Structure 1
Amino acid sequence: MTEIIIYTQHECPPCTFIKNYLSEHNISYIEKNINQNSQYKHEMMDYDAFATPFILLDNEPMYQIDMDKINNTLSLNS
């Protein structure tokens, strides 16, 4: 099973989009909201990521939403 971790923050439309997209396809993910836990922000910065959503797809960093990669990795049809 593919592990998905999404670093998010409040009032982030792209964060909401990707969470809704995965939920609509019944794909589970771990959300780490950087506004709720400063450790998550530090984890994200360890990857040189400075914007949300920052996604780890099987520990591979995704610095912007790449729908083709997400769909291919998860075997989804958009």
Structure 2
Amino acid sequence: MSEAIVYSSTNCHYCAQLKQYLKDQNIAYEERNIDTNPEYAQQLEGMGLMSVPVTVIGGMQILGLNPSRIKKALAAAVAQ
């Protein structure tokens, strides 16, 4: 089971950094590439967001690569 959902795009340098960080931390994630699936772009827009990367963990939306927020969100998700 994925711990996180990552909204990304194909040529996004920050998305690649975020995915590498998650791999390095052994955090399972489901990638949702907005370039390959228009539905994922609509989901992102529905959250009121227009840029990637965005990580969704539990109910938290984390913009960009933000290790401290990712760790807090994972801890909160485990506590539930």
Q: Which runs of 5+ in 1 are unaligned?
A: none
CA RMSD of aligned residues (A): 1.9
TM-score for both structures, normalised by structure 1: 0.82
Residue 66 of structure 1 aligns with an amino acid whose one-letter code is N
**Count of matched residue positions in the alignment of Structure 1 and Structure 2:** 75
What is the identity percentage for the equivalent residue pairs of Structure 1 and Structure 2?
Answer: 27
Runs ≥4 residues deviating over 4 A: none
Distance 2:54 2:73 in 1: 16
Q: Which runs of 5+ in 2 are unaligned?
A: 76-80
Residue of structure 2 equivalent to 1:20? 20
Contact 2:57 2:74 in 1 (8 A): no
TM-score for both structures, normalised by structure 2: 0.81
- Which structure is higher in helix share? 2
Contact 2:62 2:70 in 1 (8 A): no
